[in-house]
């Protein structure tokens, strides 16, 4: 069947049209996305602004037209951290529903981590053994681990790259003290519940997903996306640690010129790098494998499982 998957993230609205059936990898047929940057369309009270709501509604309406044009039979629409954490999230979704007719489900942080874990498990297979999975989004960091398709532990932290950039780098190029304070806060937040994952011992395999990790891996020498998803890519802690002082010293223009970095996300590179370094250090991981599947694939796979089960 052909499915439309509408992912409303903290940075980007992304419609992925896929051909999918149980037992096969979801095959992307068409992609349509826009840089909504909802995490940065928040007012002082934590509400999505009118401009942010309008941008979301317009994107959703266009995505529905695209999905229809491409022959989608069903639409799976979900939102993550930016909408989940907004104080007016219900009003935002109601406004989008009024203007487009589309219901958008809000995933909890735990579900986001769980579904991302499912995607990575299916990509890596059972030979991966006990698996740890990390995902840095625009608004949150997801962590999950386990030996089965359902993780033993899964949780979310407010450590997304866009959120941290907005909180600490609103004035532009960060000062040394800004970086130090952010680094301290990131590590304290991750370490607080790190034992949930560490109690199981060293994982057989540790993986990272999504744009921030992919960009950092590319900066650190991994193969470009043009080489295809089957090329192995890794992020090495030692290499990342060497790069961080250089990244901190760069201007936004210089960051945007790095391989794998888009201009709209250049201000998120340093926060993302500090989160990635903290994850690898606190969980004692010298490297992370970059997995091309993430939350969207997890949503698709779970939906296929439900259809097959007759739910």
Domains in the chain with CATH codes = 2-106 (3.30.420.40), 109-295 (3.30.420.150)
pLDDT number for residue 24: 84
pLDDT number for residue 113: 98
Q: CA angle at residue 86 from 33 to 66, to 5 degrees?
A: 20
Question: Which residue stretches of 125-175 are H helix?
Answer: 161-168
d(CA 271, CA 164): 6
Q: Which residues sit opposite 34 in a β-bridge?
A: 13
pLDDT number for residue 37: 86
Helix (H, G, I), strand (E, B) or coil at 246: helix
Nearest to 52, CA basis, from 76, 25, 87 = 87
pLDDT number for residue 20: 87
The DSSP-derived string for 48-96 is: BPHHHHHHHHHHHHHHHHHHHHTT-SEEEEEE-HHHHH-TTHHHHHHHH
- Mention every residue, 6+ apart, whose C-beta is less than 8 A from residue 75: 3, 4, 5, 6, 64, 67, 102
Two structure tokens written together for 7: 């992912």
pLDDT tens per residue across span 145-203: 999 999 999 999 999 999 999 888 876 677 888 899 999 999 999 999 999 999 999 99
pLDDT number for residue 180: 94
d(CA 134, CA 209): 7
DSSP state letter for 222: P
pLDDT number for residue 23: 82
d(CA 24, CA 27): 8
pLDDT block averages, 10 residues each, the chain of length 311: 94 94 88 90 91 96 97 95 94 97 96 98 97 96 97 97 88 80 97 96 96 97 95 98 96 94 92 98 98 96 83 50
d(CA 267, CA 252): 6
Instruction: Count Cβ atoms below 10 Å from residue 252 Cβ, excluding itself.
Output: 14
């Amino acid at each position: 069947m052909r499915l439309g998957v509408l992912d409303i993230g903290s940075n980007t609205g992304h419609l992925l049209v896929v051909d999918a059936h149980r037992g096969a990898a979801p095959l992307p047929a068409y992609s349509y996305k826009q840089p909504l940057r909802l995490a940065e369309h928040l007012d002082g009270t934590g509400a999505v602004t009118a401009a942010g709501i309008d941008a979301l509604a317009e994107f959703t309406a266009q995505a529905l037209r695209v999905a229809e044009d491409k022959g989608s039979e069903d639409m799976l629409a979900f939102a993550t951290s930016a909408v989940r954490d907004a104080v007016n999230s219900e009003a935002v979704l109601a406004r989008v529903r009024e203007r487009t007719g589309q219901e958008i489900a809000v995933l909890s942080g735990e579900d986001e981590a769980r579904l991302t874990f499912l995607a990575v498990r299916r990509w890596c297979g059972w030979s991966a053994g006990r698996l740890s999975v990390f995902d840095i989004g625009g608004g949150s960091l997801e962590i999950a681990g386990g030996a089965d398709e359902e993780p033993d532990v899964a949780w979310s932290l407010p450590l997304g790259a866009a959120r941290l950039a907005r909180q600490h780098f609103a004035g532009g190029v960060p000062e040394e003290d800004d970086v130090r304070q952010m680094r301290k806060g990131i590590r304290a937040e991750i370490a607080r519940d790190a034992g949930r994952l560490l109690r199981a011992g060293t994982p057989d395999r540790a993986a990272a997903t999504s744009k921030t990790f992919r960009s950092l891996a590319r900066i650190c020498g991994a193969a470009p996306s043009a080489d295809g998803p089957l090329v192995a890519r890794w992020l090495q802690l030692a290499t990342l640690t060497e790069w961080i002082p250089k990244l901190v010293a760069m201007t936004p223009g210089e960051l945007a010129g790095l391989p794998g970095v888009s201009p709209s996300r250049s201000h998120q590179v340093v926060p993302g790098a500090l989160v990635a370094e903290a994850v690898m250090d606190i969980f004692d991981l010298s490297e992370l494998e970059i997995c091309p599947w993430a939350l969207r694939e997890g949503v698709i796979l779970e939906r296929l499982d439900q259809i097959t089960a007759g739910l």
